[in-house]
Structure 1
Amino acid sequence: MSGRARGVLLVLCGAIFLEGIDVAMLNVALPSIRAELGLSTAMLSGVVSAYVLGYGGFMLLGGRAADLYGRRRTFLTWLVVFLVFSGLGGFATEGWTLLLARFVTGVAAAFMTPAGLSIITTSFEEGPKRDKALLFYAGTAAGGFTLGLVIGGLLTRIDWRWVFFTPVLLSAVILLAALWLIKEPVVRERVPRRADFAGAVTVTAAMLLIAYAVVRLEHPGQGWGWTVASFAGGAAALVAFVAIERRLPAPLVRLGILKSGPLVRANASALLFAGSFFGFQFLVTLYLQELRGWSTLETSLALLAVGVDAVLAPTVTPRLVAKFGHTRVIFAGLVLAAGAYALFLPLGLDWTYAAMFPSMITLGLGFALAYGPLTIVATEGIAEDEQGLAGGLLYTAFQFGAALGLSTVTAVNVAALGDGSREAALGGFRAALVVPLVMAVLAAIITGTGRQRGSTKDARLASDEAIPAS
């Protein structure tokens, strides 16, 4: 790996680290933001949901834009937007300013993230070098989210506005390095740039409506009318999008990419895995802070053990992948994650951290094994001019999975709260903890099915090769 290649990888890892800590730090700072600005619960929830809507709604479009209009240009442009609107959030004095800032920041991340991933997949030749680069990239992403919890807790003690200003400083450093190091690759065959406005509008509308419907699942008390209508509208827009793309000679999204079994299985597993992880983390945070009375910093430190994946993903996981293959390593990671959630099911009102630690460290191991290889499988074998699209599909799966996991555990927890006593609250947490376990098991089943198909295919090929030609 040349010096410039290392530099490019570090810049892109810095960008995905930035995206991770931005989300994590805000989650930690929400109570302080509400206290100073006097936000209602609905407005505070909207601050989180605005980012999800922007990110999930524009991710697919952002990934394809990187393929069509240049990965470097897309990455740099939206990094600047990310920088500006992170700063706007830091200067907010009213709720609507925060809503606007978080929505546009989410849109910026939706364009920036798949562009960064596609720069890696097109800069490194498919094989061990790309695998190692992607595993390092994935480890940095996971480490950013885990460390962001601790950093956010420390910054919030100073002033919650630094949760917004810190990403501005990091963005500026990454931008300067990216301008110097990242070069737009020479494309042998230009992708047709005919604007597919109808496709862009319908797919974005579909993603926004579905994301909004998923977010509304967190608030079952507000009625199901808008939720059902949003799901129905999103589904209708998605059907219209598919019909439009089938007729166009140069569609925004080539639907044939979805015929790749490994890609579809990787995205389905990624959606379920992300849902289980974020749902579990959310429940643990509520359990420690609201039921046990732990401080924000104590809670962040308790979750720090999960960050072991930031060390293991770029060091141990590549060796395991080289020896056992991507699918087996992903399967092992998902099984470990399911085991971690199962270990946490019998939690009590007086659990010590020693009782929680096995779940935390096991989940960190599972994340180290599953997250990076899922990124590899979701982009492996995809044509260079569709790497942005593949990245967009993957991060859409991650984002919708996270939103679905959070919404589902919230709905189950609220439904099982009972009379409001501490024992009833504990019962609500135990009931909701079943959701991450089920999601992880389903992800393992999907991955295991792919592993079985791959083994059958390999055996058939070996058998064919053993038969001498007549």
Structure 2
Amino acid sequence: MLDISVVLTGLPKIQQQLGFSETNLAWVQSAYTLTFGSFLLLGARAGDILGRRRMFMTGLAIFTLASLAIGASPSAAWMLSWRAIQGLGAAILAPSTLALLQNNFPEGPERTRAVSYYAAAAGASATVGLVLGGILAEWVSWRAGFYVNLPIGICLILATRRYISETPRHAGTLDIAGAVTSALWMSGLVYGFIRSAETGWGDVVTQATVGAAVILLAAFIAIERKASQPILPLRVFDSRVRSGAYSARVLYLAAMVGFFFFTTLYLQEVAGYSPAITGLAFVPATILHVPSQSPYRAWSSATVQTPYS
């Protein structure tokens, strides 16, 4: 969560130093979130099959290495490539985290407390990341926001090796085809929207990309219907209430991310705010995320298992 928000207040600096166009700057966020979202369910399945401790450490290693590479970015293409890899590491890391909390804390008040701390940290990270990213971008460098992951990642890997035991493995298969098609159709759709801002919807490439995304979405649905162990069982959409909640969440996040992206550019490039002041200006909006993670809600989220656990 911190790595999603820490980069926002540094976007103008990143654009200046790495030569991003105004349109391609959106990929700094999209490259990370697309791979994160596309491979999150596959990462959870891999933890069931290969062991959650192993996948937790693998995700940490990928995430930490990618953070180092992003901080050393010499070009826009280099940064976007490693942002995508960082998102992959996060997709492996995140589901194993909650699973290990369940395995290492007994059910009841102790587990509820542990998961509440986890949820509170996730909720606070959006606020901390925006403020920290702005301070670092102004007084040190936007690169420092990624370098801070290096010592944390190394310490967590060493601590995991010493204190965390491996979980039992479960037989199963990985839905690689589903994960790849989900990543491709979402990436194609996002690319079409971003490109349209520069070329318009009449552009042939934009239309072809969006059309290909629709075809890939249909292919993804077909794959999930036939897969013996799909990463996204379509039965989860059988409930109208649940589907409505999913739709509301999509709209909420789409509005929130767009708000942060355009507002940080406006505050710095139009209103003349410094990166640090921009980060502080976001606090009234982001602080609402912290109390939304109540202990009961955190416990409820932690008890959700992957479909075939």
- Is the pair's TM-score, using the shorter chain for normalization, greater than 0.5? yes
**In structure 1, what is the equivalent of residue 154 of structure 2?**
172
Does 1:191 pair with 2:171?
yes
**In structure 2, what is the equivalent of residue 21 of structure 1?**
2
CA distance in 1, matches of 2:72, 2:198: 33
**In structure 1, what is the equivalent of residue 199 of structure 2?**
222
**In structure 2, what is the equivalent of residue 17 of structure 1?**
none
* Paired amino acid for 2:261: F
**In structure 1, what is the equivalent of residue 180 of structure 2?**
201
CA contact 1:90–1:162 (8 Å) conserved in 2: yes
Cα displacement (A) at 1:151: 1.3
**In structure 2, what is the equivalent of residue 31 of structure 1?**
12
* Paired amino acid for 1:386: P
CA distance in 1, matches of 2:308, 2:172: 15
Does 1:82 pair with 2:3?
no
Cα displacement (A) at 1:141: 1.3
Cα displacement (A) at 1:221: 3.3
- SS of alignment partner, residue 148 of structure 2: helix
Which structure shows the higher helix fraction? 1
Q: Which has the higher contact order (CA 8 A, sep 6+)?
A: 2
The aligned runs of 1:64-463 (5 Å cut-off) are: 64-120=45-101, 132-156=113-137, 157-186=139-168, 190-193=170-173, 195-214=174-193, 216=194, 219-224=196-201, 225-259=204-238, 263-309=242-288, 312=291, 317-318=294-295, 373=297, 382=304, 384-386=305-307
CA contact 1:121–1:387 (8 Å) conserved in 2: no
From the superposition, tell whether residues 137 and 69 of structure 1 become closer, same or farther in structure 2 (CA, over 3 Å). Answer: same
- SS of alignment partner, residue 282 of structure 2: helix
Cα displacement (A) at 1:60: 3.3
* Paired amino acid for 1:95: A
For each residue in 1:253-273, what CA deviation from the matched residue of structure 2 results, as whole angstroms up to 9, or x when unmatched? 433344356654443332222
Cα displacement (A) at 1:81: 0.8
- For structure 2, the 5+ residue unaligned runs are none
For each residue in 1:76-96, what CA deviation from the matched residue of structure 2 results, as whole angstroms up to 9, or x when unmatched? 102101111111122222222
**In structure 2, what is the equivalent of residue 13 of structure 1?**
none
From the superposition, tell whether residues 201 and 94 of structure 1 become closer, same or farther in structure 2 (CA, over 3 Å). Answer: closer
The structure that has the greater radius of gyration is: 1
* Paired amino acid for 1:54: T
* Paired amino acid for 2:92: F
CA distance in 2, matches of 1:98, 1:198: 27
CA contact 1:54–1:104 (8 Å) conserved in 2: yes
CA contact 2:39–2:91 (8 Å) conserved in 1: yes
Aligned residues, how many? 306
CA contact 1:64–1:253 (8 Å) conserved in 2: no
Q: What TM-score do you get using the length of structure 2 for normalisation?
A: 0.82
* Paired amino acid for 1:136: Y
* Paired amino acid for 1:184: E
Cα displacement (A) at 1:167: 1.6
Cα displacement (A) at 1:198: 3.4
- SS of alignment partner, residue 172 of structure 2: coil
* Paired amino acid for 1:220: A
Cα displacement (A) at 1:132: 4.9
- For structure 1, the 5+ residue unaligned runs are 1-19, 322-372, 389-470
Q: Percent identity?
A: 33
CA contact 1:209–1:234 (8 Å) conserved in 2: yes
* Paired amino acid for 2:213: G
CA contact 1:207–1:234 (8 Å) conserved in 2: yes
For each residue in 1:93-141, what CA deviation from the matched residue of structure 2 results, as whole angstroms up to 9, or x when unmatched? 2222212211211221122223323434565677766555444323211
CA contact 2:9–2:275 (8 Å) conserved in 1: yes
From the superposition, tell whether residues 128 and 249 of structure 1 become closer, same or farther in structure 2 (CA, over 3 Å). Answer: same
CA distance in 1, matches of 2:248, 2:266: 27
CA distance in 1, matches of 2:50, 2:216: 25
From the superposition, tell whether residues 200 and 30 of structure 1 become closer, same or farther in structure 2 (CA, over 3 Å). Answer: closer
Q: What TM-score do you get using the length of structure 1 for normalisation?
A: 0.56
- SS of alignment partner, residue 168 of structure 2: coil
CA distance in 2, matches of 1:229, 1:378: 39
CA distance in 2, matches of 1:270, 1:387: 24
